[in-house]
Structure 1
Amino acid sequence: MASEAFEEIVADFEFLEDWEDRYRYVIDKGRAMDPLEDALKVPATKVEGCASQVWLHPRIEAGRFSFDGDSDAMIVRGLIAVLRALYNGLAVSEVPKVDAAGELARLGLNEHLSAQRSNGLRAMIERIRGVAAEAA
């Protein structure tokens, strides 16, 4: 059920054999994202449970879910970019059905993220799913 954008990331990860190259790839994905406007970095968009500062700004337009995000940590910006590839453009009703843990496991992220980063990633996924559930 993964999007084409997420499948591209999976394919790129398969091509990159070394985890350090994969780590740089994730960081580059984050660098390629436009920064979140400072006006959107408010308590309502801040994600609690992350070691870094993280903001997610969800949007629902014509029944489709998308979000922008930002973080003060480059690897977390990259993780936001990966989550955007996984969720952006889905119908709101499809967002809760995504097996995020299973999809991200295809990238091997769980094995290479610290416990704090993994907790933060789960917190971001919970926020995404919660916003979509409220909108559905």
Structure 2
Amino acid sequence: MQTIDEVQQEIIEEFSLYDDWMDKYALIIEQGNALPPLDEKYKTPENIIEGCQSRVWLQTEFREGRLLFQAESDAIIVKGLLALVLRVFNDRTPDEIIGNDLRFMKEIGLTDHLSPTRSNGLLSVIRQIRFYAIAYKTKAEKAE
């Protein structure tokens, strides 16, 4: 399995193939289209991420010391952004998630090309993922 840094470098290299932001947005949409659909049973108020302009659901499972995420959005760009974040953070230990920053977003220029509301929504998703990592780590430590 690739490290978080290796996955981020892979994303950076994929985006570096395009100079035009329309092409980069097409790549983001393509990533979202490849994201498996979230089962309707997980589209609950508890799984909605607050702070997002569009509806975003994030379902989390902690299995064998690793966090497994599923996500979906009703907006195609946001769904693609979710796919990128999950590529980096899915199937990781809490320590891996807590100890790594998402540098790929800045390096591909994403932070400069998202609207403020979309940026805030994406940050809300990342904060929620980190919150789950901290919560599951704490729960696992108490169980020991």
On whether the aligned pair clears a TM of 0.5, the verdict is yes
2:26 matched residue in structure 1:
24
Residues 97-108 of structure 1: matches in 2 within 5 Å? 97-100=99-102, 102-108=103-109
Alignment size in residue pairs: 135
1:50 counterpart SS class: coil
What TM-score results when the alignment is normalised by the length of structure 1?
0.93
Q: CA deviation at 1:3?
A: 4.7
What TM-score results when the alignment is normalised by the length of structure 2?
0.88
> Which whole-Å CA distance do the structure 2 matches of 1:84 and 1:5 have between them?
10
1:126 matched residue in structure 2:
127
1:111 matched residue in structure 2:
112
Letter in 1 for 2:4: A
Greater Cα shift, 73-82 or 9-18: 9-18
User: Is the contact made by 1:64 and 1:92 (CA closer than 8 Å) also made in structure 2?
Assistant: yes
Percent of matched pairs sharing the same residue: 37
Letter in 2 for 1:65: L
2:95 counterpart SS class: helix
> Which whole-Å CA distance do the structure 2 matches of 1:3 and 1:85 have between them?
11
1:46 matched residue in structure 2:
48
> Which whole-Å CA distance do the structure 1 matches of 2:83 and 2:56 have between them?
12
**Which among 59, 62, 73 is matched to residue 60 of structure 1?**
62
Structure 1, unmatched stretches of 5+, are: none
Moved >3 Å (runs of 4+): 3-6
> Which whole-Å CA distance do the structure 1 matches of 2:53 and 2:70 have between them?
19
User: Is the contact made by 1:2 and 1:103 (CA closer than 8 Å) also made in structure 2?
Assistant: no
Structure 2, unmatched stretches of 5+, are: 138-144
User: Is the contact made by 1:6 and 1:82 (CA closer than 8 Å) also made in structure 2?
Assistant: no
Question: Which structure has the bigger radius of gyration?
Answer: 2
2:136 matched residue in structure 1:
135
1:84 matched residue in structure 2:
86
